[in-house]
């Protein structure tokens, strides 16, 4: 069996969540790696959309930001940002939004604004960008993040992007009728949203990860499904394609 890192397992598991028919709004970083791995393996016809207005983009290397020229150069079409958000996103034409964050709570609410008090924060983060609109307008949301008590917190310092609010019907009570976060893929496990409480619940543990590993890296009492399976390990093809993608990206960004 091939050896792989927890980050590789996370990226592969996240990529598998996507299908060939998806129209996916892609966040930069871990979501971008997962979405492009899906495109290069089992979902060649997936439509990847980035916030800068690129539609059907097929980058050969991972973008540094939404403004990376690689996205526009390889896209089927590029539209203005207002058209992207008003017509494509708010028009309900995007099936999946793939997001990350600095802080996350058990109901899928995301913070990318500040750590600490808003007026005098310990850390001022990049901000929401398009994520708040992505979080409420896409058909459903997948989130990918590495687990840590620093990032997986009981209470967010600031809610940048709405998940399920306080849980239960809170999202719908605010007039938001898309599904919201349905899946969380980490370096340890796959979590899915409980149909009633809307709390993330572990449904699959990655090879080598234990329940204690999961419990020790979240700031809330972790919940597990009645039947937790083991995530299938990455295939040789998935690992090779992912590693080649990262190698090309590294070489391009270092000017080689």
Q: Which helix (H) or strand (E) holds 116?
A: strand 114-116
Q: Kindly tell me the burial class for residue 229, based on how many C-beta atoms sit within 10 Å of its own C-beta (0-12, 13-18, 19 or more).
A: exposed
Instruction: Encode 185-237 in three state secondary structure.
Output: ECCCEEEEECCCCCCEEEEEECCCCCHHHHHCCCCCCCCEEEEEEECCCCCHH
Contacts of 24 (CB under 8 A, 6+ apart): 18, 35, 46, 47, 48, 49, 94, 95, 96, 97, 98
The radius of gyration of the chain from alpha carbons, rounded to an integer in Å, stands at 18
| Residues designated as active site | 51
CA-to-CA distance for 170 and 145, rounded, in angstroms? 24
């Amino acid at each position: 069996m091939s050896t792989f890192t927890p980050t590789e397992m996370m990226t592969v598991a996240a990529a598998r969540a996507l299908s060939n028919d998806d129209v996916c709004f892609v966040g930069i970083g871990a979501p971008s790696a997962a979405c492009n791995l899906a495109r290069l393996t089992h979902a060649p016809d997936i439509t990847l959309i980035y916030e800068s207005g690129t539609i059907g983009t097929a980058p050969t290397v991972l973008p540094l930001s939404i403004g990376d020229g690689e996205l526009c150069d390889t896209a089927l079409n590029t539209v203005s940002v207002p058209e992207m958000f008003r017509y494509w996103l708010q028009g309900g034409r995007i099936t999946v939004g793939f997001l990350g964050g600095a802080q996350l709570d058990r109901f899928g609410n995301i913070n990318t604004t500040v750590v600490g008090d808003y007026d005098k924060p310990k850390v001022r983060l990049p901000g929401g960008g398009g994520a708040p609109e992505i979080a409420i307008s896409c058909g459903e949301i997948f989130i990918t993040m590495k687990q840590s008590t620093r990032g997986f917190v009981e209470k967010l310092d600031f809610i940048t992007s709405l998940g399920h609010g306080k849980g239960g019907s809170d999202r719908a009570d605010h007039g938001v009728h898309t599904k919201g976060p349905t899946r969380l893929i980490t370096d340890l496990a796959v979590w899915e949203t409980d149909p009633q409480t809307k709390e993330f619940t572990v449904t699959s543990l990655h090879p080598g990860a234990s329940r204690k590993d999961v419990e020790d890296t979240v700031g809330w009492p972790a919940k597990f499904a009645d039947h937790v399976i083991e995530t299938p390990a990455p295939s040789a093809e998935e690992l090779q394609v992912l590693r080649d993608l990262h190698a090309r990206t590294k070489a391009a960004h270092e000017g080689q």
